[in-house]
C-alpha cells in the first residue's frame, strides 16, 4: 500500500495533478478513415507543381483540435506504395507525403489493419510499415511477418503517466491473401483474447481495440458488431473504436459489471477525408475520450464527446481537399454548404437517437 501511494504521488506529479487532488488525466482523440481517391491524388500532384504531392492544406483547420489531444489516432486506409504509379479506388496506393501531412496535423498513431492494406500486395504492405517507421509514426495492425507481430504485441504507450495498450484488427482484406508472409491482424476471437490478455499482463492499465468492421454505408451497427463489442467488453477492454462503413454510426458508453467500469464503444467514425460523393459519406466524426486516475491509483475511462466535420472538395484557386470542423462552418465553400447541412443533420439525427452518454462538444 505504501508503494502504491508513493507511485500514485509520483504519477500525479508527472501528469500535473494539483495540490488539492484533481485527478491526473489523458485525452485520446480518434478520427476515421483517411482515404486517398484518384481526385485527391490528382489535386495534390497539381498543387505540388512538379515537386511531388502537396497535402499541406488538407488538415490545417482541424489540426489545432488534433494537436490539443495527448494522443491522436486515425485509420490509414491506403498503402504507401512508393510510386511512381499512385492510384485511387479500387486498389489504393498513396505517396509518403500523405502520411507526413497526417503527422503534421497531429496524429500520433495510424491504424493499418483494414480491407485495403493488401491492395498492392505484401510488398506495399511492408513498405508502408517501413515508411511510417522512418517518419516516427506509431502504427499497429499489420506486420512484416508473424514473428514481428509476436515481438511487437503488446504495444503500450506511456501517455501522461498512463500505460495504454493498443490493438487493431480487420474483418478481411477484400479477398487478397498475403503471398509472401506479410501478417495482417484479422478478427479472430481466440487470437484477440490472447493478445488482450498479453497486453494486460504486460502492464497496460487501459486497453484500446480498434476494429475495422460493419457494413459499408449503413448508419447503424449490426448484430455482428454488437456481438463482437460484447465479447471485447467481456475481455476487459476499455475503449472500442470502429471504422470501415465510411459513414458514422452510434457511440455508446456501456457497463462492464464484472469489472465495475464503463467502456466506450464507437461503432464507426466515418471518413476523415475522401472524395466520396453521397451525403452520408461527405464527412465524419472525431471522438475525444478521457481516462483518469482515481484516488485508489487505478486508471479508468471517464467520459467522451464528439464533433463532426466536412471533407470539403477543392473550391478553386490553390485550395485542396480540406477537413473543415463543424465549429468553423463559415469556412465551408458556399457551393458545399448544402452538402454539409445534409450530412450534419443526418449524423446528428443518428447520434441524438442512438448515442448513450456521448454528447456533442460544440453545439
- Condensed to tens digits (0 to 9), the pLDDT of residues 223-261 reads 999 999 999 999 999 999 999 999 999 999 999 999 999
Per the rule left: phi > 0, alpha: psi between -120 and 50, beta: everything else, 236 is left
* pLDDT tens digits along 157-188: 999 999 999 999 999 999 999 999 999 999 99
Helices first, then strands: H and E counts in the chain:
9, 16
Instruction: State the pLDDT confidence band at 363, using cuts at 50, 70 and 90.
Output: low
C-alpha dihedral sign at 322, 325, 328, 332: positive
pLDDT of residue 362: 80
How distant is the alpha carbon of residue 65 from its chain centre? 14
Whole-number average pLDDT of the chain: 94
Q: What is the mean pLDDT of residues 336-346?
A: 97
pLDDT at 309: 98
Whole-number pLDDT of residue 45: 97
By the 10 Å C-beta count (0-12 exposed, 13-18 middle, 19+ buried), 277 is classed as exposed
Write out pLDDT tens, residues 18-62: 333 478 999 999 999 999 999 999 999 999 999 999 999 999 999
Q: Write down the H helix ranges in the chain.
A: 2-15, 38-48, 63-68, 96-105, 121-134, 146-152, 189-201, 223-234, 337-354
Cell numbers linked to 334: 458556399
DSSP secondary structure code for residue 236 in this structure: T
Q: Which grid cell sits at 108?
A: 500520433
Which pLDDT score is estimated for 23? 84
Distance from C-alpha of 238 to C-alpha of 251, rounded to nearest angstrom = 14
Note every long-range contact of 20-25, with CB atoms under 8 Å and residues 24 or more positions apart, other chains counting.
21/295, 23/292, 23/293, 23/294, 23/295, 24/160, 24/161, 24/162, 24/292, 24/293, 25/160, 25/290, 25/291, 25/292, 25/293, 25/302
The x, y and z cell numbers of residue 277, run together, are: 460523393
Q: Write down the residue that cell numbers 463559415 correspond to.
A: 330
Statement: residue 3 has pLDDT above 50: no
Tell me the mean pLDDT in the region 217-228.
98
pLDDT 10s digits, 52-93: 999 999 999 999 999 999 999 999 999 999 989 999 999 999
| Percent over 70 (pLDDT), the chain | 94
d(CA 218, CA 315): 29
Confidence of residue 1 (pLDDT cuts 50, 70, 90): very low
Amino acid at each position: 500500500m505504501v508503494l502504491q501511494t508513493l507511485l500514485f504521488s509520483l504519477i500525479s506529479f508527472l501528469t500535473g495533478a494539483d495540490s488539492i487532488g484533481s485527478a491526473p488525466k489523458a485525452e485520446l482523440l480518434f478520427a476515421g478513415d483517411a482515404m486517398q481517391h484518384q481526385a485527391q491524388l490528382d489535386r495534390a500532384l497539381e498543387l505540388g507543381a512538379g515537386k511531388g504531392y502537396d497535402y499541406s492544406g488538407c488538415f490545417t483547420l482541424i489540426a489545432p483540435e488534433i494537436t490539443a489531444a495527448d494522443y491522436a489516432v486515425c485509420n490509414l486506409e491506403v498503402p504507401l506504395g512508393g510510386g511512381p504509379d499512385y492510384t485511387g479506388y479500387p486498389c489504393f496506393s498513396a505517396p509518403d507525403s500523405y502520411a507526413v501531412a497526417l503527422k503534421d496535423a497531429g496524429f500520433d498513431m495510424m491504424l493499418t489493419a483494414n480491407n485495403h492494406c493488401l491492395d498492392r500486395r505484401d510488398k506495399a504492405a511492408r513498405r508502408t510499415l517501413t515508411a511510417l517507421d522512418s517518419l516516427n509514426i506509431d502504427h499497429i495492425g499489420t506486420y512484416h511477418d508473424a514473428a514481428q507481430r509476436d515481438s511487437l504485441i503488446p504495444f503500450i504507450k506511456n501517455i501522461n503517466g498512463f500505460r495504454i495498450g493498443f490493438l487493431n484488427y480487420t474483418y478481411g482484406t477484400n479477398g487478397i491473401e498475403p503471398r509472401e508472409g506479410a501478417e495482417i491482424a484479422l478478427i479472430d476471437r481466440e487470437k484477440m483474447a490472447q493478445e488482450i490478455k498479453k497486453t494486460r499482463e504486460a502492464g497496460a492499465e487501459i486497453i484500446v481495440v480498434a476494429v475495422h468492421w460493419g457494413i459499408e454505408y449503413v448508419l447503424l451497427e449490426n448484430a455482428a458488431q454488437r456481438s463482437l463489442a460484447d465479447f471485447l467488453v467481456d475481455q476487459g477492454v476499455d475503449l472500442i473504436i470502429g471504422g470501415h462503413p465510411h459513414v458514422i454510426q452510434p457511440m455508446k458508453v456501456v457497463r462492464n459489471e464484472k469489472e465495475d467500469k464503463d467502456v466506450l464503444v464507437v461503432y464507426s467514425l466515418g471518413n476523415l477525408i475522401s472524395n466520396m460523393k453521397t451525403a452520408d459519406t461527405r464527412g465524419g466524426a472525431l471522438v475525444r475520450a478521457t481516462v483518469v486516475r482515481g484516488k485508489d491509483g487505478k486508471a479508468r475511462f471517464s467520459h467522451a464527446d464528439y464533433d463532426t466535420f466536412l471533407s470539403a472538395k477543392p473550391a478553386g484557386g490553390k485550395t485542396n481537399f480540406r477537413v473543415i470542423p463543424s465549429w468553423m462552418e463559415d469556412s465551408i465553400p458556399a457551393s458545399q454548404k448544402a452538402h454539409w447541412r445534409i450530412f450534419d443533420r443526418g449524423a446528428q439525427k443518428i447520434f441524438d437517437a442512438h448515442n448513450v452518454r456521448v454528447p456533442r462538444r460544440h453545439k
